[in-house]
Structure 1
């Protein structure tokens, strides 16, 4: 089964491409990309121009500058809380192209009203348009993320999400820069902002005309127009898959984290950095470039798979640089309002910019794999409603961030202190999520081992099935074989392993966390032996990947040992259950002689025996039918892979 056929997501004739940027030359992606790009740009052109106007230009007694960003941000995300459930149903029931075109016409109408608000400097009208643009984004959100898995396969999904995330934040960057520069023009700034908002909305509607058809995934769905009962139903639907639901919580926390920073940038620029409007725009430039860079790095660092091992790496970076931003911004000498040139001339400000850039880069590494995982593991028939549940949670978390930041400001905290508290809270929340969903932590360890300790090359990974049960069989060379195999697979693997390895410090804890199945020889412990094969059979019944090391133990001489009969017993039980899983032969290469192997009789004795970043590999062969995978025949296949 090919990757595209297995995923059911991509166009049947979609050409292969070398990297994510090539998607911009394909109709299945490019018109959609530019439509969402224009929408995100317009949102932020409007919002930032409005925020700068009430922060620097208008004196509104009931909307002080320190609270303006929070109020505008909260109004924008309120529709996500109220209408996401309805928008998710619409995206599952109707063709996504038709919905996108309808939403783009709505945006044009809202921007006409917003232009009037800017011309008349009417804050009430502009606040109403903020809410309406939030409604526009609420309707577009589930369509946006449900569209991608319909047109991209598993190997394209991380890159496609990275491109969308990069495009979104580049659009945020351009929208904020344009909004800040246009609104600052003497006398005519508000007029230029209004005209620009209408022009960008029309451009987005034009690109939407070229989006290909995206058929309904659940045309028989009966729409529940009650937003409250449907919101509750969507959250219950999301909770059915534990990994997906907790990933939704992880993404929502990222938006809580980001909303704190984005809402405080105008105030941070004015009160802490002593800069003018252009300095506030620079902060958003740096933040957006960082997010875009991190998003694009995901495909490279993940080897074009959905690699959730990047999520803990992103969380660590977010905390480290949020905390350092606090220290970098403390004690800056008070000055008058500085221009962009005067601000950039001070070396102390470069540390602030570096912290913001790296903080946002790691936020990109954190978010993109989570979005891709949710898209990949959600059922297609209600994928948009899962995304709607995500938007509901995002809205709750962002509203909470606005309320909490407002309370901290009223309690006397300054902006750097809020950044510090957010960075510390991020560490606590991330650790909690990773302990709840050990798969993130396990994949992170696997990613570090395969990228930092070793240079891990994989050939034939397309032979690992993307769905359905399968039995993987691999030679056993070292104590970290299972960790490397985790890194090689796009899906979670359940390992059957020698019970003695669970006594190994650290590694034993990791394998228990991974729910590996301990197996002992029947003569030593019949109960453990039988329990292992029953659990193995259940894994295949559940449609998951099961991996066994048929040699039964780590090699002591580097040679491939005889395969024992355990694999035949597993296949016999599977056949009794009416399951005939394909058997995928695999061979780890060049691990013999490494620190974790028994090259001199005892593993882990000489730390620098091979140095860091030594080359190791995995060869994956074509799947064998279950009835042909007898131990001797399977050993021949693995031996042939080793001889490549």
Structure 2
């Protein structure tokens, strides 16, 4: 995938852009801090804070408009136009660097931020259009790796450029060459026409911002994913901002160790992104989120527990080589690296989730809302750090401890608001730790629109296994007695399970179940039923009850036959006694979820569907 025309030119374009932005921004800050301070009309501290502000401000002003633009024009054409704009901006920036016109460089930094604000929505919304669904996590992993390594290389390169003998000339040439290279790479991106209905584009910075946020809030799962991503940027911005003083005050280290800390954090995020790709098994996997959340808290706390004792001589200042030469620093380095790894595990599934769940033609607007919230959270991060460190006199270690603890609180809030995240985690544990689940024919599931899954019923955890096989939410029709089991009823209730029983037990429950199924299908949802009506008592496929025919008579939607293999004999099945009543006998056994070709709702009936399911089961 990486070297394909549909991905590599785009990947190279976004990496070159992120690299150029970070070189230019950091060179400006270093030049102002270390040279020609007298020529500034304002103080250095005010200039540095203004620089941070003018780079973030465009994300508030223009992200909403950028999202609408990206959804309503060819994404490849938009990227080329943005790279042409970058070329113009960096040509002017090169001249400003050569003449050391700092206020002009500040204005150009605002324009650079504006160009980035317009590039952000198209950067992520292009992926679901260019990649197959099973490539989405991999694509996001590459993008996150490229972005954070570009930030790292750009930050380190800025210091080397400014420190060199002909740093001004070298810097001017670098930003111009990178802009040219980015534009040339963008020319190879294939056409990506708009996917939805083209709408009128209005430029309304403030009202557009609130409208963009209001739109994503209508989908709670996407809104919570945006808040979770924004929280990570809050956390990451705080770490990155405090690294210099943290290294100086608590590690007794010089600026070279600050670069080491930045490298460990950035490379950790890149490594975490690819761990996420490895353990997502080819689809968007929210089940990995708790591992990232736990890592951010545990390793954030361990970073403070692992601080070494103060050197015997107070004047000792560690350089890069002397810092890594002492074994007492290894735990600090490992903890910081693992904070980065946890961050990669955290944000990659969330970006992929937004891309997969946003409506076609509105993905860029969802990403734009995410960028707005990211910028807001980073501003709040700076304000909180100033208040706690300067006004209330906190130590940086206390601030880092607060971040680790707040991370757990934020996670609990997000999981309480979107139970699907919890369900995906439980499903992931079952599918990849308790069992080894393989899915065949996942592409048979419709990516959108109503559909019915019919499956054999083997165990109490069938629904959780099937849930993990689908990237879309599924409404399960389940025997009322199973849906009310003490250990599972919380998950089932929040998964929107539709309880059913025989009309002899409760006619009201029976009739309400069919009304709920009809409404779910009318809303374009996937519904899964177990037509046998009960768990198999002997491992054999039972007769399908007429309920499926009743459903199809009212809603002739596509039907997807599915078969579960390998769960008979598990702790959750009725083999050798009632389920959950015997001692577990096996762990990490192989389970398969097999899907057959879709059957038209007008042709499907319970006898045909039973034959299709039975054909996927092993011969008895």
Q: Distance in 2 between matches of 1:72 and 1:446?
A: 46
CA separation of 1:519 and 1:276: change in aligned 2, threshold 3 A: same
SS in 2 for 1:329: coil
Name 1:564's counterpart in structure 2: 545
Name 1:441's counterpart in structure 2: 422
Name 1:630's counterpart in structure 2: 605
Q: Distance in 2 between matches of 1:74 and 1:327?
A: 34
Q: Deviations over 1:544-574 (max 9, x none)?
A: 1101111111122222222222212221232
Q: Distance in 2 between matches of 1:184 and 1:532?
A: 72
Q: Distance in 2 between matches of 1:69 and 1:404?
A: 18
Q: Deviations over 1:439-475 (max 9, x none)?
A: 1111111111111111111112221221111111111
Name 2:25's counterpart in structure 1: 47
Which of residues 397, 400, 411 is equivalent to 1:430?
A: 411
Q: Distance in 2 between matches of 1:337 and 1:71?
A: 31
Q: Contact 2:145–2:270 (CA<8 Å) still a contact in 1?
A: yes
Q: Distance in 1 between matches of 2:219 and 2:512?
A: 26
Q: Contact 1:458–1:617 (CA<8 Å) still a contact in 2?
A: yes
Aligned counterparts, 1:97-112, within 5 A: 97-112=76-91
- Per the TM alignment, residue 35 of structure 1 is displaced from its structure 2 partner at its CA by 0.5
Unaligned 5+ runs, structure 2: none
SS in 1 for 2:592: strand
Name 2:274's counterpart in structure 1: 296
**219-228 vs 123-132, which deviates more?**
123-132
Q: Distance in 1 between matches of 2:600 and 2:204?
A: 51
Residue 565 of structure 2 is aligned to residue 589 of structure 1:
yes
**150-159 vs 543-552, which deviates more?**
150-159
Q: How many residues align?
A: 613
SS in 1 for 2:2: helix
Name 1:307's counterpart in structure 2: 285
SS in 2 for 1:79: helix
Q: Distance in 2 between matches of 1:46 and 1:596?
A: 59
CA separation of 1:425 and 1:191: change in aligned 2, threshold 3 A: farther
- Per the TM alignment, residue 180 of structure 1 is displaced from its structure 2 partner at its CA by 3.0
Q: Contact 1:518–1:528 (CA<8 Å) still a contact in 2?
A: yes
Q: What TM-score, normalized to structure 1?
A: 0.89
Name 2:143's counterpart in structure 1: 164
Aligned counterparts, 1:495-534, within 5 A: 495-534=476-515
Residue 105 of structure 2 is aligned to residue 146 of structure 1:
no
SS in 2 for 1:176: helix
Aligned counterparts, 1:110-125, within 5 A: 110-115=89-94, 118=97, 124-125=103-104
**399-408 vs 237-246, which deviates more?**
237-246
Unaligned 5+ runs, structure 1: 1-22, 575-579
**176-185 vs 451-460, which deviates more?**
176-185
Q: Distance in 1 between matches of 2:104 and 2:315?
A: 36
Which of residues 390, 397, 407 is equivalent to 2:370?
A: 390
Aligned counterparts, 1:445-456, within 5 A: 445-456=426-437
**77-86 vs 484-493, which deviates more?**
77-86
Aligned counterparts, 1:174-253, within 5 A: 174-185=153-164, 187-217=165-195, 220-253=198-231
Name 1:9's counterpart in structure 2: none
Which of residues 283, 300, 308 is equivalent to 1:322?
A: 300
CA separation of 1:367 and 1:442: change in aligned 2, threshold 3 A: same
CA separation of 1:606 and 1:236: change in aligned 2, threshold 3 A: same
CA separation of 1:634 and 1:346: change in aligned 2, threshold 3 A: same
CA separation of 1:69 and 1:588: change in aligned 2, threshold 3 A: farther
Name 1:78's counterpart in structure 2: 57
CA separation of 1:278 and 1:52: change in aligned 2, threshold 3 A: farther
